[in-house]
Structure 1
Amino acid sequence: MKRNVLIIGAGGVAHVAAHKCAQNNILLGDIHIASRTLAKCEAIIASIKEKGSKHGPGRLQAHALDALDIEATKTLIRETGSQIIINVGSPFLNMSVMTACIETGAAYLDTAIHEDPDKVCEPPPWYGNHEWKRRDDCKKAGVTALLGVGFDPGVVNAYGRFAVDTYFDQVDAIDIIDINAGSHGRYFATNFDPEINFREFTSTVWSWENNRWKSSKMFEHRQQWDMPVVGNHTTYLTGHDELHSMSKNLGVPNIRFWMGFGDHYINVFNVLNSLGLLSEKPVRTAEGDEIVPLKVVKAVLPDPASLAKGYTGKTCIGDLVKGTKNGIAQEVLIYNICDHEESYEEVGSQAISYTAGVPVVAAAMLIADGIWDVGHMVNVEELDPAPFIEQMNKMGLVTRVRDAKGDRVLEPQRELLMNAPVEELEDTATYEYFAHDQALLTKGQPSRQHDMR
């Protein structure tokens, strides 16, 4: 069992993660928050106290840290006695923080793939360029390193694994669909770090099609989806972190990522990009100053954390999975709906940060309990998704499933029982109970199972 958490980063996701750690600190122990800007860490602690999120005794402390300094990070890990490190700082920090964890024995979690500041959209698989090179080191040290355990990547990886294992004999395609149907009321803003946001879209779009990598341009391919609650939205094929591990680990020939964009966002993005203002390469001004255009754009745009108050609407993110079961074609949508206003009411954050911050804490709790403390490096889809989904259901991020049987809360054990062959079930009475319950659902009657809405 592991205790005491060090959160590295003080942005929107770190804000949510800190609140959720505080809500569960009876299990997790002391909570430490570290960033280059101490005041941001202290503001998160003030928010936790204001919301009354801390539920048990233990330290709640802020620290100044340059996480690129491996020795300083190791020292802080040891001084705080932290056995679980949640890295939700810039993706530029990943390899430095992971090294500190390997050398101190602390478990490592992050929510996004590592990025080299001088490179954009490296050749796939992206994890192979950086993180996977340290797999042997993690194994030798017995260190659990859980990669990409936000929502996407993270939860969508678990959805893919659960669908493959539960609903299909063969899966032909997984389409990951990310819709933000909310409104922040600003002329233009990004929902997370603008620098990281724009870097995703300024180069090659990589998708996994017919068991090989396919390249295309941003906004080249579009698709309409009619999603639960948020309705019909236009999305665009986009390169994304999770494709680079799911393509390796799930054995599915087609895995694509679709993100919703409005016309206004696309217009502004195209103007900025055409002017060279989204370049990560430095330029020299007439006065002789060297600047990075992308960092200038980041500096003038609203801080994503500032968008939370007054943000309305909902997000819908999920996996649409297609394949066959018993020779019959079928499709299953596993998804989550998150409300911006409800997120702000609970923890003072908008839904984009909420959907990334809750999963990493749910994973930390599974590591603390020993369930996911595997002692080596893994991506989310390599682990049993059931306890992860169950934990998030309890923490305010409820998973639903829509298929031919209807739309319902996804309760993993129930779904596993309902989709397992009868001969594999040891407890016939249990199977009959769930079979009867499913019959009620099919007829449109209320289930006897608890609906966690």
Structure 2
Amino acid sequence: MRKNVLIVGAGGVSHVVAHKCAMNNDVLGDICIASRTQQKCDAIIESVLRKNHLKDPSKKLYSRKVDALNIPELIELIRETQSEIVINVGQSYVNMSVLEACIETGAVYMDTAIHEEPDKVCENPPWYANYEWKRQERCQEKGVTAILGIGFDPGVVNAWCALAQREYFDTIDTIDILDVNAGSHGKYFATNFDPEINFREFRKVWTWIDRKWVLQKVHSIRMDYDFPVVGKCPVYLTGHDELHSLSKNIAANSIRFWMGFGDHYLNVFSVLTNIGLTSEKPIKIADGVEIAPLKVLKALLPDPSSLAPGYTGKTCIGNYIRGTKDNKERAIFIYNTCDHAECYREVESQAISYTAGVPAAAAAILVARGDWDVKHMVNVEELDPKPFIALLDTMGLPTEVSEAPVPFEPPVIESLESV
């Protein structure tokens, strides 16, 4: 059994993780939230207490200041707080330093996205092989549990792939992961999570077609899909974290990721990109100061957590999977819908942060109980999906399965470049 949780980061996802961990602190023990800006951590704690979500008031909920890139400082914090589970929901630039601190202390490590280096965008596949997977042997040698990509996508969608492979199909031809936000935040333009990380995703589209990596242009391939609850929405072929591990661990011919974008979003994004504001490369301004335009844009746009109070509408994320079972063709859509307003009523968050944060808290519970404390490094699809999905059903993210759903027929995708 593991106890005591350290949450690294104090953004919108951390906010949800803290609420859900507090609601289960009889299992998880003390909870510390740590960030460079301790005031943000304290604001999350105020929200948890305001909603009366601290299940066991005898357990501590407190904050600390930490530089997550400083490995000795992180090691000291893990030991001081006696944290046996570390949930890294800081920017993905800090993944390697937090992971290293966990390996040194023996704490469980989990994150919600692949590591990124500030000067490297959309690295070639399989991206995990450049960073996290290089630490696999050390995790194995030291008996350290490291669970990679335990948000929603990546995370829950990976578990659905594992469930489909185990129970719904004998062979899988295609997996299409579809993610649409049909909600409205009322702002002229905003991103639902860290805009710096968000915009960096939209440089290259690496996708898995016919068991090889294929490169496509961003926002160049569109399909319309009739989603449950939210209805027909446009989705665009996009590269995404989970493809980099699913291509290795799931026996499917093609695995693709599609994300929903409205015309207004794409128009604004196109203008920002064309004038250079989405660039991560530093430029010199008149007084000689160097700054990356993307960091300026991040400072100008609304904080994603500020969108929550007025957000309306729903999200739908699902896997459209085709293959065979008992020598017969089969297609399923396995999915979740989430309501922005309901998320705000429960934990004072919008649904995008909610869908990313709840799975990380659920994974912490499974580790604390011993179900997922595997003593080595894994991506989510390598774990037993059933206890995870069952737990999510009770924590606000129920899974639905539709047999013979609305057909999803993407166009033939020709390769610009293959690996």
Q: Distance in 2 between matches of 1:303 and 1:317?
A: 23
Contact in 1 for aligned 2:150/2:360 (Cα 8 Å): yes
Structure 2 equivalent of residue 276 of structure 1? 276
Q: After the TM superposition, which residues 317-332 of structure 1 pair with which residues of structure 2 at under 5 Å, given as runs?
A: 317-332=317-332
- Displacement of 1:76 in angstroms is 0.5
Q: After the TM superposition, which residues 391-410 of structure 1 pair with which residues of structure 2 at under 5 Å, given as runs?
A: 391-404=391-404
Amino acid aligned to 1:359: P
- Say whether residues 1:311 and 2:311 are aligned partners: yes
- Say whether residues 1:286 and 2:301 are aligned partners: no
Amino acid aligned to 2:338: C
Q: Deviations over 1:60-91 (max 9, x none)?
A: 01110001000000000000000000000000
Amino acid aligned to 2:223: Q
Amino acid aligned to 2:358: V
Amino acid aligned to 2:298: K
Amino acid aligned to 1:144: T
Q: Distance in 1 between matches of 2:159 and 2:169?
A: 15
Q: Which moved more, 1:282-291 or 1:247-256?
A: 282-291
Structure 2 equivalent of residue 175 of structure 1? 176
Amino acid aligned to 1:198: F
Q: Deviations over 1:184-230 (max 9, x none)?
A: 000000000000000000x2100000000000110111111111000
Structure 2 equivalent of residue 379 of structure 1? 379
- Displacement of 1:405 in angstroms is 9.8
Q: After the TM superposition, which residues 225-304 of structure 1 pair with which residues of structure 2 at under 5 Å, given as runs?
A: 225-304=225-304
Structure 2 equivalent of residue 14 of structure 1? 14
Provide closer, same or farther for how the CA distance between residues 279 and 405 of structure 1 changes in structure 2, counting only shifts above 3 A: closer
Amino acid aligned to 2:347: V
Contact in 1 for aligned 2:177/2:258 (Cα 8 Å): yes
Q: Distance in 1 between matches of 2:51 and 2:362?
A: 20
Listed as ranges, the gaps of 5+ residues in structure 2 are 407-419
Structure 1 equivalent of residue 349 of structure 2? 349
- Say whether residues 1:74 and 2:75 are aligned partners: yes
Q: Distance in 2 between matches of 1:126 and 1:309?
A: 36
Structure 2 equivalent of residue 149 of structure 1? 150
Contact in 1 for aligned 2:333/2:405 (Cα 8 Å): no
Q: Distance in 2 between matches of 1:38 and 1:403?
A: 48
Structure 1 equivalent of residue 368 of structure 2? 368
- Displacement of 1:251 in angstroms is 1.4
**What SS class does the counterpart of residue 391 from structure 2 fall into?**
helix
Q: Distance in 2 between matches of 1:303 and 1:398?
A: 28
Q: Distance in 1 between matches of 2:284 and 2:77?
A: 38
Contact in 1 for aligned 2:34/2:64 (Cα 8 Å): yes
- Displacement of 1:167 in angstroms is 1.0
- Say whether residues 1:130 and 2:131 are aligned partners: yes
Q: Distance in 2 between matches of 1:263 and 1:108?
A: 39
- Displacement of 1:286 in angstroms is 2.2
Root-mean-square deviation (Å): 0.9
Q: Distance in 2 between matches of 1:91 and 1:117?
A: 9
Q: Distance in 1 between matches of 2:328 and 2:349?
A: 43
Structure 1 equivalent of residue 340 of structure 2? 340
**What SS class does the counterpart of residue 214 from structure 2 fall into?**
strand
Q: Distance in 2 between matches of 1:63 and 1:214?
A: 44
Q: Distance in 2 between matches of 1:89 and 1:189?
A: 20
Contact in 1 for aligned 2:139/2:376 (Cα 8 Å): yes
**What SS class does the counterpart of residue 63 from structure 1 fall into?**
strand
Q: For this pair of structures, how many residues does the alignment match? A: 405
**What SS class does the counterpart of residue 253 from structure 1 fall into?**
strand
**What SS class does the counterpart of residue 335 from structure 1 fall into?**
strand
**What SS class does the counterpart of residue 240 from structure 1 fall into?**
coil
Q: Distance in 1 between matches of 2:174 and 2:26?
A: 41
Structure 2 equivalent of residue 35 of structure 1? 35
Q: Deviations over 1:380-416 (max 9, x none)?
A: 000110000001001111111000499xxxxxxxxxx
- Say whether residues 1:90 and 2:86 are aligned partners: no
- Displacement of 1:287 in angstroms is 2.2
- Displacement of 1:245 in angstroms is 0.2
Q: Distance in 1 between matches of 2:300 and 2:204?
A: 26
Q: Provide the TM-score with structure 1 as the length reference.
A: 0.89
Q: Distance in 1 between matches of 2:134 and 2:225?
A: 37
**What SS class does the counterpart of residue 335 from structure 2 fall into?**
strand
- Say whether residues 1:111 and 2:112 are aligned partners: yes
Listed as ranges, the gaps of 5+ residues in structure 1 are 407-453
Contact in 1 for aligned 2:331/2:405 (Cα 8 Å): no
Which stretches of structure 1, 4 residues or longer, exceed 4 Å deviation after superposition? Answer: none
Q: Distance in 1 between matches of 2:287 and 2:13?
A: 37
Structure 1 equivalent of residue 187 of structure 2? 186
Amino acid aligned to 1:84: I
Q: Distance in 2 between matches of 1:231 and 1:405?
A: 13
Structure 1 equivalent of residue 199 of structure 2? 198
**What SS class does the counterpart of residue 374 from structure 1 fall into?**
coil
Q: Distance in 1 between matches of 2:20 and 2:69?
A: 25
Q: Distance in 1 between matches of 2:88 and 2:404?
A: 39
Contact in 1 for aligned 2:32/2:64 (Cα 8 Å): yes
**What SS class does the counterpart of residue 39 from structure 1 fall into?**
helix
Contact in 1 for aligned 2:3/2:368 (Cα 8 Å): yes
Provide closer, same or farther for how the CA distance between residues 92 and 350 of structure 1 changes in structure 2, counting only shifts above 3 A: same
- Displacement of 1:165 in angstroms is 1.2
Q: Deviations over 1:78-113 (max 9, x none)?
A: 000000000000000000000000000000010011
Structure 1 equivalent of residue 59 of structure 2? 58
Amino acid aligned to 1:217: K
Contact in 1 for aligned 2:185/2:310 (Cα 8 Å): yes
**What SS class does the counterpart of residue 32 from structure 1 fall into?**
strand
Q: Provide the TM-score with structure 2 as the length reference.
A: 0.96
**What SS class does the counterpart of residue 308 from structure 1 fall into?**
helix
Q: Distance in 2 between matches of 1:294 and 1:288?
A: 18
**What SS class does the counterpart of residue 309 from structure 1 fall into?**
helix
